[in-house]
Structure 1
């Protein structure tokens, strides 16, 4: 009995210590919302700056439901743990941020807490936004307060047990979140630091381009090294690997063109990145895009080895059928030898998007179509139609394998099972 009592005491002490540690980690660098802040009517310049920063953060995309009022929230963000619904950012007093002070807003950005102190779910990427300066947060707040108020009560999240609890969220934050404003690297120039601030902060590029573990936390040791986007089944390629989407050897202007127009002489964007360009980066200044390009060019290259060359089957009935399928469905645009058509259809020979170890994007594009965004610099982009109803799993696997293993490409086979898995995940 005495041993059992001591064991119970020990467990209680450990639990109390663990709780205290989680609490302490959750109030690091906490913003004091009661501290007085001088306030004045926001200037037109401050509001315009906030509007620009909202574009940089692509805020409207998440905080606007399909067919809803801009920034009124209600969009469901699917996660592996359930659905999180975005909040109303218009200045309505009861359902929006009309009752928030600029400090409340700053605490949400910096600490991931709502006005009432509740912990926010990281579907709102405060793990990145914490790096935003107070000045930029105040500009964003001024812009959002200038919007027409919309009465739109926030929808309750639909998360599974135990992820819906504040206690579980506090533990997650203790493990994976540390607040801190971006600190310029004094060994780097002004342009590089501006690019790092945009990419790491408002741009929240790591939210997609960094792998996540089973608990949804990012492995900061692999920052921007690529990851599968949860629930969307698109792979955000590594921005540091020359075999995926690294741009260390690119001309800087080509990177700017990709972010501004969605196309460049070296690549084009599609899938989730097309939405980012369409709604966000095309509106950024050339100076800011140049800064982002400089930062991305100087990312330390990953030390990942190139994909192992696959064994190529050179004859057989399946090889002949694959070649015939390519001739029938692909060659007209992409060329008999995968050479593509300049400024219209991308070459497939030597294309990193084709030969990446992760083939999920290639399957997605052929299933559902591939479309670059319509931008001011490329208002009528060429696109690729979906083949979801044209090719079955076996034929799609054959033609994709043909593309990945022809004209010097030496990537691995795509099996009908892989195609079926991706088709099923997208409901197609």
Structure 2
């Protein structure tokens, strides 16, 4: 109760602190568009095709389409710690979609996080990243959305707990965590780096997952890409600035590009939420754009400040190690090899794999419990998968084999215990 009280108190303070800028965000006081759309009213097929490509880069379909619904018709529930948000219809239906929007309305929404009617958007919509999108690209995306089939489907109201259903509280959030402005190229970097930065920071909105989220749903710009748990998905997005997690400083550019576009590389494989990103979005990007993203990601400054970790095998009891070794030999070695070297890219290596040894064991545990497939992509249409073991292994056995994988072969991970397995097992579908 004390934590809830502190959060509520903080939100109230933020709302009061942001009241001074309330007038600026209201519809009547919004800045006039000023700039006219670069897209003609009868948008050409070239602009529409460009907009489709950019909408893919922004992964719009992932949120705005239900699993069995029509493209961009909305309705998908997005669970948050504050309640459920329901994604809106962005098809060109006049009554329930964005059919009556203009390119100016759409750009203002992308750039400022304010809807056509002046409603402040919740930050589940990544406007804090999309603000970096250029006007020309925004117009192209709008032209594409206006070309898709309209769907008459009413938007569902959000189901947020009090006081989070009061949008005025978003003013304080925006004051702390939102910085408006299009991407500005860095003159000290080359064109490829700047293109990659534009895609990663803007449409790719990579920082939304790879930066830790605090109790108010915000993230610190100074800790961008340092990794964190993805809220309500119970997957850990690893740090991209630490070579002890998923830092890419010692990867080859092509290895990074393959992971992004193909879903597998000789260094690792994407599963979970990242596999969905590859499937819905990144596989459709050009080789040049994916390479540019890889160049930018590889150049992210490394922020390791602690000495390199050493093997933690000495912290594991001999009994647990032997149990883990036996389970690994029976269930895992046929694909990943007796020494954990794998058979990449089909079966990723486990020895020396940062995603196995990073501080959070969540992803390793979930893979053993849930199994999973790398995404089926145009360059890897028949991916290999890993079977689930939740029905074969109990909590102690899962803890033993995950511990073994994290400390064997001079891996520098730490042991896991049965309570961690039990908590994640509760998330399995019945």
Match of 2:63 in 1: 62
- Cα distance, 1:254 vs structure 2: 1.5
Quick one: distance in 2 between partners of 1:142 and 1:207?
26
Q: Choose which of 394, 399, 410 in structure 2 pairs with 1:408.
A: 410
Quick one: distance in 2 between partners of 1:34 and 1:316?
71
Quick one: distance in 1 between partners of 2:399 and 2:251?
32
CA contact (8 A) 1:210 1:218 kept: yes
CA contact (8 A) 2:14 2:172 kept: no
Quick one: distance in 2 between partners of 1:253 and 1:333?
24
- Of the two, which has the highest radius of gyration? 1
Match of 1:271 in 2: 272
Alignment of 1:384-403 (within 5 A): 384-403=386-405
Quick one: distance in 1 between partners of 2:118 and 2:363?
40
Kindly provide the CA deviation profile for residues 197-218 of structure 1, in whole angstroms up to 9, marking residues without a partner as x: 0000000000100111110101
Match of 1:100 in 2: 101
Residue correspondences, number = 415
Could you list the runs of 4 or more consecutive aligned residues of structure 1 that deviate by over 4 angstroms after TM superposition? 14-17, 24-31, 33-39
Kindly provide the CA deviation profile for residues 382-413 of structure 1, in whole angstroms up to 9, marking residues without a partner as x: 11001111111111001111111211113211
CA contact (8 A) 1:31 1:111 kept: no
Kindly provide the CA deviation profile for residues 366-393 of structure 1, in whole angstroms up to 9, marking residues without a partner as x: 1110311111111111110011111111
CA contact (8 A) 1:71 1:90 kept: yes
CA contact (8 A) 1:26 1:174 kept: no
Match of 2:22 in 1: 23
Match of 2:301 in 1: 300
Quick one: distance in 1 between partners of 2:255 and 2:26?
43
* Greater mean alpha carbon deviation, residues 216-225 or residues 316-325: 316-325
CA contact (8 A) 2:265 2:344 kept: no
Match of 2:5 in 1: none
Unaligned runs of 5+ in 1: 1-13
TM-score, structure 2 normalization: 0.92
1:325 aligns with 2:347: no
Residues 1:271 and 1:331: Cα distance change in structure 2 (over 3 Å): same
Quick one: distance in 2 between partners of 1:195 and 1:188?
11
Kindly provide the CA deviation profile for residues 268-288 of structure 1, in whole angstroms up to 9, marking residues without a partner as x: 111111111111111101111
Q: Secondary structure at the match of 1:405?
A: helix
Match of 1:233 in 2: 234
- Cα distance, 1:15 vs structure 2: 11
Quick one: distance in 2 between partners of 1:248 and 1:27?
45
CA contact (8 A) 2:403 2:414 kept: yes
Residues 1:353 and 1:196: Cα distance change in structure 2 (over 3 Å): same
- Cα distance, 1:107 vs structure 2: 0.8
Quick one: distance in 2 between partners of 1:17 and 1:237?
35
Unaligned runs of 5+ in 2: 1-12
Quick one: distance in 2 between partners of 1:403 and 1:16?
48
Q: Secondary structure at the match of 1:118?
A: coil
Match of 2:263 in 1: 262
Match of 2:140 in 1: 139
Quick one: distance in 1 between partners of 2:65 and 2:396?
39
Quick one: distance in 2 between partners of 1:158 and 1:318?
45
CA contact (8 A) 2:266 2:348 kept: no
Match of 1:352 in 2: 354
Q: Secondary structure at the match of 2:408?
A: coil
Match of 1:368 in 2: 370
Quick one: distance in 2 between partners of 1:68 and 1:15?
38
